[in-house]
Structure 1
Amino acid sequence: MQPPTPTPPTAQQPAMQPPVVSAAAPSPVGATMQALMRKPALTTVGLTLVVVFGAALVSAILLMTSLELLGQHNVPTSFGLFVVAIGFSLGGRLQATFSPETLGVGTYASVNAGLTVLPLGTLLAIAIGVFLLARKRAPVDESAAPLGAMALRAAVESAAVALVACLLTALGSYDPAGTGDVVVRASAGSSLLIIWVIVFAPLMLARAGTQLTSRVPARLRQVLRELGALAAVTGVVLGAVSLVVGVFAAFKNDASGATVLLPVLLGNLIVYALTLGTLGSITGSVSAVVLQELGLGDTPYLAGTVSARDIMGSWSILLYLAVVVVAIAGAARVGVRRQRLASADLGRTWQMPVAALVAGLLVLHLLAPVRVSGSLLGQQASASVGPAWWSSLTLAIFVLMVSALAEVLPTWLYANAISFLRLCAGARAVEYWVNGQAQPARQFVAPAQPYPYAAGVAQPAGPDPAVPPAGAVPPAPAPAAGDVPAGYVAQPYATSAPTAVYATPAPAPAYASSAPSMSAASAPVAMSANAAGVPALPAPQPMDPAARRRLKRVAGVVVACLVVIGAGAIAVHVLNSRRGPEQAVEAYLELIADGQAAAATAMVDPGVPNNQRLLLTDDVLGAATSRIQVVDVRVPSGADADLSGSDSVTVNATLSLDGKRLDVPITVKPGDKEYGLLNTWEVDTPLIREITLSSYSLNAVTVGGTEVSLETSEYDGASATQYVYFGIYDVGVGADVSDYLTADNTTLNVNDSSEGELRVEGTPTEALNTLVLDAVNAQASDCVTPPGNLDEVCPSPLQSTQLDSLEVSQEAAEVTVDGASFESGPVTFTTRDNPSDWNKDPDPEDWKYTLYGSIEWPDGGGEPTITVTGSSIYWY
């Protein structure tokens, strides 16, 4: 590299004047700390605070909005909850304290729990904002200094910002009930650590990016550059896919409020999408103490893994296609950032996968997992969800494939699809690559300005040529050796955009006529390389026009076939998505909800005898006072929606019956495919319950207006077993006794928790009570009318021929009917014995008796026969 050419002083750049030295210059650290106390540096710190808390404020608003939209109840707006949301956005950790009464664990010790979910989207936004701010403020906030002093200043600034964040998040807490039973706080320590790292790293990168990269070995610098290129492509492609899929999934699952959280957790979604798309898995684990408290047995440890297909079903193919796009675009971008060689060099392919493995271990297993930990009954409890341990290995294998593809793909794309190559890698980078030169490292900040002088220390008498004048745009520092084109000369500060001076252009190389034309900005690069004597590689030759046309025709046919096949596959998939097990269950449940019992029975055969289907009719179901309402029908998470090779699947149906929520599992089996492509499903669980109707006093019961005859049993009255669809039905007595009896149980509630038996007894109507009462009083009159008083059913004091008089002094006022028998209220009889020699004038005597008897119901209906069969003393 040639030394910079000095530029003569101009009107904007006066000549140097001898400095006036009045004292010894301070150390770089001292000067940097003094500069930190001045207004420009303090302004930078204040603006950094604004960036950090602005992003956290937006994140907190999104969190609370999502909770409001997703929650069953309104989320109260309070300062404590808002501060907790801000603290979670900054530190990604929540701590909760539960009272023993809340959990019902029967201990006097409080129970603590912690939730860790790093909001990578918010943290990434903070890092980018701090980087851009520091880069913009670098020329005015006196941050230029030797690397050690610059790092110390960045550490102090980061600590100040992190300390403010820590103090703020430590202030707030959220008590939902206001009783102290459950108190949620953000972790101040987590906020302190994470914000310090998130602020310090961008500050150093923005202010000392060139110095830092210059100290990194050239090979490692190249690997990091390639890994950054692949990360950029991954973020763009999978970020867009994650947003689209996240929005679609949220609306499909009736959780539209979750879409508000997507910006906050976008980084997490990209990491999980990359994990699943590279054939990794998501694993979850729960410790033993949690399982025991949940009543799940003595399993010491529970863990399970799911793949993209388990989560997304057939739609996982879209994720895999997105990862293929990442591989192609990433290989193009990475390959262009390597120096073009005459042939592929596989020796350059292993470094990036190794770096990816290290980065994967850090990101996948440290930053991405969701963890819950705490103490329960004196034992440590934990649960976590995150990438499986082998996911970093599958990611490294994927990066290895991309790295190997990067050796050959750019050449092929240059010859056949140069526009796509420039889209993936950038036009400037492609031109460097065409000329066989490595892509220069990107410069992060203006050339370092001298660290500030203290008051009274030697000051330059005039403008320093090393310090840019106001409004000047600094040129990018010269790249490290080996990364710059031959003939490149760095310009000093100028008042316009930086430029580069190149050696006198050499004649264009021979291959220029066949290669695609270069831009004017890149043409000098190729010329200077040849002028400097660098061996020029021939540009990748485009295909022969005839061969290109043949390739286009073949590719067109292949693409057309793929489009037809793909469109057919998509059409079949769309149709099958509407013919899934949940759709079959929902159609069946809707028939029942609409009262179409016959159609429901035809769709799903109950498999019961015909004589037990009396209540499985449209009349009965249509007469139900309340039928089911379908709330939700879905296949459990993790189940294979296509059921390839599966015998059955259980669909969870959420129903509502008279305002009560019912969760009913329904088994569905795959049927024969229509036309060999379209799925069919057979519901295997009829939504019916077996009900036994029984009675001691009735020989028939009506349900929903349909009469069911009861068969008499020797020991347990009469009963009958029938099957009924879910619903609430009116219950009554048989038509032949309906004028005189009503059912004591008038409602039959058939649901998933029905007991399976309903005992119904007859309750007398006023008409029957009147008939019985009249029969009782008529018999009482017969008992005081000789010779009727001698009847066995009459009270014994009346059964005498030695009575001077007998009468009913008080008739029965009430009767009690119990099924086919009855008993009257008290009847008062008054008798007087015949006069005798020893009692010339006997006194009247009162007797209180009750009469009882039986009720016989004639066949075919009609008025019952009331028969008094006896009497007994009334005890009161």
Structure 2
Amino acid sequence: MSDSNIDNEGTVPEAAVPEVTVPEVTVPAPPAPVFPSAPVTPVTPAEPAIAGLAVAGPAAPAAPAVAAPTLTPEVKGHLLRGLSTAGIAVGGAFVAGLILAIAVVLTAGSSLGDLGLPISVDAFSGIGGFVLIAFTLAGFVFGGEISLQVSTGIGGFGANAGGALWAFPLTLTVAVLVLLLWWSIRQERTAPLRGIRNRLLFSGGVGLATSLVLVILTLIFTIRQGGSGVEIAISSAGFRIVLFGTILVGGTVFLGRVISARARAGVNWLRAIGDSITVLPRFVREALFYTAGLTFVFGVITVIFGTILLWDQIGAGALPVVIFGLLNLIGIPIIIGHLGGFTLHSGLGSFGGVETMTVFSTSGWSWLLVVVALLFSVVAAVWIGTRRPRKVGLNLVDAWKFPVVIFGAWVLHGLFTFGLTVQGGGSFGSVGGSGTAGLALAVWTPVVFLIWAAAIEFGAQYLPAILYGLSPQVHAFVAGRATVGTWVAAPAAAAVAGVAGVPGSHDLILGGAPQAEGAPQAGGEAAMQAVPPIAPPKPLSPAAKKGLLWSGIGVGAVIVLGIVGAVGVSVLNSTRTADAVALTYLGHIASGNASAANALVDPDVSNAARAHLTDEVLKSATERISDVSVRSIGIDGSDQAYLEVSFKLDGVTQDGTLTAEKGEPEWLVLNTWKISTPLVQNVRIDVDGPGVLAIGDVPLDIDESSSYRSTEVALYPAIYEVTSDGDGLFELESSQLQVGAGLVASTYFVFAPTEKLVEEVQQQVNTLLDTCAESTAARSDGCPLRTYVYPSDTPVAWTIISYPTIELTSDGLRFSAEGGEATAAYTETSFGSSEDVTDEVSISFYGEVEISGGDVKVTYSY
């Protein structure tokens, strides 16, 4: 018995079932099994009634009593078929998970090792490792959330961290659902269920069973690794699998069985789907066509350009990534091309930011997506409108339906299947924190698509007639020659086409002619007489065509000029980003152009402190920054950007942070950015020893008011050569000053005496001794030559035998003289007698050095 003899509640018309006699009993019937038995045929003996499978006909006596309820072969068969369907769903999810596992191991394996976690990538290189990852990602296919948990104990304190990733791998999910749809259509043909209610129970049971099995498998195959007191667990088990798995699997199974039940005998499953689409309301079929066309057009663009853009990052892996992630990636160009937006959000604790990406904030070439969206929308409006009954005037009664369906589809897509979310957090003892990041649909984007759909609806009511009047040949090329012919023939002819004997001849998707709304479904001549024909649209006159042509050219020119202008503005704005300003700023510093750097970014120091922020000083540096790069690390709203800059100095890469603020646009459309945190560093310099310091021949203003000689100077990042005053008496022990991206610690410069100063002091000491030797006093003031005589005024004749060797202190302001020798000759008188005496005297003393204007003077201390 075919489904045509079974109503939607699973009952068989009375005429289809012969009257049967069942022995009368007084006991109630046994409980109804979960699944119904096979359809009742006229030759089948009477069976006990099963709940949900009531047979219409004369009232039958109660069934005979039985000892215990048992499952009939039919019910057992449905149970087995339900299990096989769940097995197909689980198996498809596992294969999809295996595909994802291969991609993860090949592209992200090395990244796991770089995280420093005790995860052995080699553990996943065998069959067992792939099985672990595949079952984890199988749950991911049906909406599961990949979670990572890390726990450890350090010094008696517990520490844990965790993270989660949620995203729908839509391409693989749809592939599994298509497989499940085919299997359900096939099962309904071989073992049909009776009634909508039984199909719902069967489908819901299969969906729930599939979800529960997947949850159990993901729990069993949870990835666990550990080492050195650290335990790691990765799993996708959670309520999301039960929720989304039950809905997706159950809904697909139900849809497949309904399609099969309505299908004509002998048609394949694809044609069965097409026939089912033809019975849908017209606005639903139009929305399906629009969605399919949009997916195809932008899918081709995504595959081509997505592969090109990703090739530089991941090489040959770009193509499979784009193919398997096509339905996820395709949303981005569709949104950009339709002037919508999506958000990139990130946050750490209570701090975070959101950046909205639109065609206005991307590269200028993105405006070509707008051109594609415009052209596709025009073609879609003509294609849809030509398949509707030709009417005169604007139809407002049904005009809201198509836009509302498109709006609802984007709302659901944005809420449940678009984008991704990454969460993470951790705690150590009582201290913890969390962060989140992700990609989501901007809340106003569905409204944008509602407006586009409304425009397409309006175009569908007017554009076919305009295009036909302009050029029937172009109209036939866009909408199809046969369809245009049916549309021109008016509703009466269209009605005949809809009842000519082939259901689905008005199928919107498969390209048949439309059936007129309100037209009779049978009757031939009566149908043609019921709806009077409408006069075919008249071609436009040459003057009207010319006017329309010039108007189109004008509108097209305005659109082209607008798009070209928008592309130009976007191209210019792509060079006027905060990153670009930062790169220009760093480029000026790298080239030694301090004046340009000062003009671009205010150094934020006093005018008196800018003496060393000049081209001469920066160009005098022995090494300037090189290999500069800028990376945006976050945007606070849309008016402030945080930039991470890096450059090399002395062979080492250094990092710094800049803050940029958005300024008033130039010419209303050109972006301006201003760096508010300069790279100028204030360096403190302490000086030990006399002398004047200079950088780039510009002296440093050293503070002499305290016992410590110091100064502070503002400089750009570079390596500078510090010079002294050049009198040759002192030299710097180290003359190199390195200024980097971070704060520079206090730098200490020490002046050391030169050999010239040593020789000068030695000469001064020798002169002092020679002067002292000319004296006849045994102890002259300010002289190191001393001996004992009696009486004390006895004249002494001094003779220098050898001069002492001097040694200067580190600052050159003191000296010691040792190793000298002299003789003191005098006549000693005692008790009326006299004697000539010569004493040998060693020369050893200390003194000070005074330097003034290059002149050196030594003085005896003791």
TM-score, normalised via structure 1 length: 0.66
Partner of 1:486: 499
Return closer, same or farther for 1:605/1:536 CA change in 2, 3 Å cut-off. same
Give the SS at the match of 1:328.
helix
Partner of 2:851: 856
Residues 32 and 153, structure 1, Cα contact 8 Å, conserved in 2: no
Return closer, same or farther for 1:249/1:766 CA change in 2, 3 Å cut-off. farther
Residues 645 and 655, structure 2, Cα contact 8 Å, conserved in 1: no
Return closer, same or farther for 1:145/1:55 CA change in 2, 3 Å cut-off. farther
Q: Tell me whether 1:546 sits opposite 2:545 in the alignment.
A: no
Q: Tell me whether 1:664 sits opposite 2:658 in the alignment.
A: yes
Match of 1:408 among 442, 459, 462: 462
Partner of 1:94: 146
Residues 272 and 387, structure 1, Cα contact 8 Å, conserved in 2: no
Which stretch shows the higher mean deviation, 69-78 or 544-553?
A: 69-78
CA distance in 2, matches of 1:26, 1:813: 129
Residue 762 of structure 1: CA displacement?
Answer: 0.7
Residues 588 and 603, structure 1, Cα contact 8 Å, conserved in 2: yes
Give the SS at the match of 2:223.
coil
Match of 2:572 among 547, 571, 576: 576
Q: Tell me whether 1:733 sits opposite 2:793 in the alignment.
A: no
CA distance in 2, matches of 1:379, 1:724: 40
Which stretch shows the higher mean deviation, 189-198 or 418-427?
A: 418-427
Which stretch shows the higher mean deviation, 151-160 or 125-134?
A: 151-160
Match of 1:365 among 402, 415, 437: 415
Residues 487 and 529, structure 1, Cα contact 8 Å, conserved in 2: no
CA distance in 2, matches of 1:616, 1:156: 79
Partner of 2:170: 120
CA distance in 2, matches of 1:694, 1:139: 91
Match of 1:715 among 706, 717, 732: 706
Residue 561 of structure 1: CA displacement?
Answer: 3.5
Give the SS at the match of 1:116.
strand
Residue 667 of structure 1: CA displacement?
Answer: 6.6
Which stretch shows the higher mean deviation, 270-279 or 740-749?
A: 270-279
Residue 312 of structure 1: CA displacement?
Answer: 2.9
Alignment of 1:433-444 (within 5 A): none
Partner of 1:699: 691
Letter matched to residue 860 of structure 2: T
Return closer, same or farther for 1:574/1:357 CA change in 2, 3 Å cut-off. closer
Residues 416 and 542, structure 1, Cα contact 8 Å, conserved in 2: no
Alignment of 1:147-158 (within 5 A): 147-151=196-200, 154-155=203-204, 158=207
Return closer, same or farther for 1:571/1:93 CA change in 2, 3 Å cut-off. closer
Partner of 1:593: 590
CA distance in 2, matches of 1:810, 1:131: 115
CA distance in 1, matches of 2:601, 2:361: 30
Partner of 1:166: 215
Residues 719 and 739, structure 2, Cα contact 8 Å, conserved in 1: yes
Residue 589 of structure 1: CA displacement?
Answer: 2.9
Can you list the C-alpha shifts for 1:324-355, whole angstroms capped at 9, x where unaligned?
Answer: 44543443454455444454421112234444
Give the SS at the match of 1:586.
helix
Give the SS at the match of 1:664.
strand
Q: Tell me whether 1:228 sits opposite 2:288 in the alignment.
A: yes
Alignment of 1:380-419 (within 5 A): 386-389=440-443, 391-416=445-470
CA distance in 2, matches of 1:324, 1:57: 40
Residue 323 of structure 1: CA displacement?
Answer: 4.6
Can you list the C-alpha shifts for 1:530-550, whole angstroms capped at 9, x where unaligned?
Answer: 645333644752523625752
Return closer, same or farther for 1:828/1:191 CA change in 2, 3 Å cut-off. farther
Please, which runs of 5 or more residues in structure 1 have no aligned partner?
5-17, 297-301, 441-481, 491-498, 501-518, 641-645, 838-843, 872-876
Match of 1:200 among 250, 255, 260: 250
Residues 849 and 858, structure 2, Cα contact 8 Å, conserved in 1: yes
Match of 1:628 among 615, 621, 626: 626
Please, which runs of 5 or more residues in structure 2 have no aligned partner?
6-40, 54-70, 264-272, 832-838
Residues 691 and 724, structure 1, Cα contact 8 Å, conserved in 2: yes
Letter matched to residue 761 of structure 1: V
Give the SS at the match of 1:736.
coil
Letter matched to residue 365 of structure 1: L
Give the SS at the match of 1:346.
coil
Alignment of 1:56-67 (within 5 A): 56-63=97-104, 67=108
Residues 32 and 149, structure 1, Cα contact 8 Å, conserved in 2: no
Residue 661 of structure 1: CA displacement?
Answer: 1.9
Return closer, same or farther for 1:51/1:831 CA change in 2, 3 Å cut-off. farther
Match of 2:732 among 728, 743, 762: 743
Return closer, same or farther for 1:729/1:801 CA change in 2, 3 Å cut-off. same
Return closer, same or farther for 1:619/1:100 CA change in 2, 3 Å cut-off. same
Give the SS at the match of 1:198.
helix
Alignment of 1:766-785 (within 5 A): none
Residue 554 of structure 1: CA displacement?
Answer: 1.4
Partner of 2:21: none
CA distance in 1, matches of 2:169, 2:383: 28
CA distance in 1, matches of 2:239, 2:483: 44
Residues 699 and 709, structure 1, Cα contact 8 Å, conserved in 2: no
Residues 59 and 89, structure 1, Cα contact 8 Å, conserved in 2: no
Alignment of 1:858-873 (within 5 A): 858-859=853-854, 865=856, 867-871=858-862
Residues 802 and 820, structure 2, Cα contact 8 Å, conserved in 1: yes
Partner of 1:470: none
Can you list the C-alpha shifts for 1:4-34, whole angstroms capped at 9, x where unaligned?
Answer: 9xxxxxxxxxxxxx99979969978955654
Letter matched to residue 593 of structure 1: A
Partner of 1:724: 715
Give the SS at the match of 1:660.
strand
Residues 804 and 843, structure 2, Cα contact 8 Å, conserved in 1: no
Residues 363 and 570, structure 2, Cα contact 8 Å, conserved in 1: no
Partner of 1:474: none
Can you list the C-alpha shifts for 1:849-874, whole angstroms capped at 9, x where unaligned?
Answer: 87242252653xxxx73625323xxx
Identity of paired residues, percent? 19
Give the SS at the match of 1:659.
strand
Residue 728 of structure 1: CA displacement?
Answer: 1.9
Return closer, same or farther for 1:660/1:538 CA change in 2, 3 Å cut-off. same
Q: CA RMSD in A?
A: 6.1
Residues 63 and 260, structure 1, Cα contact 8 Å, conserved in 2: no
Partner of 1:54: 95
